[in-house]
Amino acid sequence: MATDARDLNLKARQLLQLFHADYVAACGGTSIVMRGSRQMIAEFGDALEPSFDLLSLKRLISRVSDDGYTITDQGLEAVDDEETLERLLPISVIPEAVVGSPEARDIELQKYELNEKARALLSLLYRCHVQNAGRPFGVSPRQEAFTACGFANGAEFKRASSWLIRKNLAKYMGMGPVTITSYGAEVAGNPAALDEALPIAPPSLASQSIPGDVAESLQDIRRIAINFVSDADFQNIMERDIIELECAVANSLHKSVALLAGSIVEALLADVVGRRPDLARSYMGRKTFPADASIDKLVEIAVGESLIESLAASLVASIKDYRDLIHPDRERRTRAKVDRPTTFALLSLLRLVLRDLDDANRDGRIAAYQAK
């Protein structure tokens, strides 16, 4: 029964969001949602009638005609107030009987897994937001979105989008597509806020405070990297690695930061060099591109084609040295320190490499390489 109540409350929250979307579309004027419309029936199915009844009971919507309802002032106040929503339509309460039990731990684990999926969708929405200069842009539950977010099917998209909507990070556009909210855009571009809104680490790894300059570096890395990569596969890898990098920084997972920084640099170089694979192959000798292209070779090609400066090449080498610590014997032999200062230094190096590539993109060096 507890699960049924939670599911109904979740459906009711989704319905309230639709009422709010209609209210916004009407610019604050009277907006009416028809209870028996085909679209509503298709969207909510058997949950439609009880959802309407529940919202009416809670005085979040009111009836204005035989079949029409509108959002109330109380509904408008509640729709973006998580505390009020949780009081009126609770969906995250764990029964006292299972607190501290394996069932409770499973619930927590499922929440972190859902947060990870929600982050992937939020990242896609944010990229669309940036690419469209902040203009509203809806992402529909289609295969392209499933692929970009790593979802297996439409059900995962719906779970992730509902979770984002519940947290006011996204909202519906009509009956299917979702778009990012202004709050969602702020969170997506701020690793500390993202970790607070959608934590993907257990409480035992609670986020530590991140210095302002480090948070700024992470924002710069996300802003440039996501929009720089052109290859769809590298873009998906980049999004995943940046999410994990932000989590690793927040939780002082220093070696993970080193490995992820190296992975991000390699993906960036492989993407830009791979825009002219025929030219890249000319540097490979008897080896093949891209299968045999090490990060050293990618740097050689990028410098040879004036895609990065010699200073950026030396920064890549520094990042690579720490990335190579994935081999325990190397870490033992070099006695390299992998600690908090290392983390902050690696992020600064990664940020500088990204800025160099961004400069090459802006001043036309990358376009010239592609046009050769």
Residue-wise pLDDT for 88-143, tens only, equals: 887 764 444 433 444 444 445 566 778 888 898 998 888 888 888 878 788 888 88
pLDDT at 276 over 90: yes
Cβ-contact 61, 14 below 8 angstroms = no
pLDDT in the model for residue 92: 61
DSSP character at residue 288: -
Residue given tokens 């290859």 in the structure block: 231
Tell me the domain boundaries of the chain: 2-92, 104-198, 207-372
pLDDT of 95 reads 45
Instruction: Check residues 314 and 304 and name the one with the higher pLDDT.
Output: 304
Sheet strand arrangement including 68-71: 33-34, 68-71, 61-63
The listed CATH number (1.25.10, 1.10.10, 3.40.50, 1.10.287) that belongs to domain 2-92: 1.10.10
Q: Please state the φ and ψ torsions of residue 170, each to the nearest 5 degrees.
A: -145, 170
Please enumerate in sequence order all residues whose Cβ is within 8 A of that of 303, keeping only pairs 6 or more positions apart, or say none: 309, 310, 313
* CATH 1.10.10 is right for the domain spanning 104-198: yes
For 209-236, what is the mean pLDDT? Answer: 76
What share of the chain has pLDDT > 90, as a percent?
6
Q: Does the model's pTM come out above 0.85?
A: no
Tokens read off for 92: 């995250």
Domains 2-92 and 104-198 share a fold: yes
289: Cβ contacts below 8 Å, ≥ 6 apart: 274, 277, 280, 281, 283
The pLDDT of 187-200, averaged and rounded, is 82
Cα separation, 340 vs 350, in Å, equals 15
CA–CA distances in Å: residue 44 to residues 50, 99, 196, 267: 10, 31, 30, 42
Sign of CA dihedral 235, 238, 240, 243: negative
320-344 pLDDT, tens digit per residue, is: 776 665 556 655 666 666 677 877 8
221 neighbors 191 (Cβ within 8 angstroms): no
**What residue type is 15 in one-letter code?**
L
Residue 197 vs residues 167, 188, 210, 250, 270: alpha-carbon distances, Å: 8, 10, 16, 13, 33
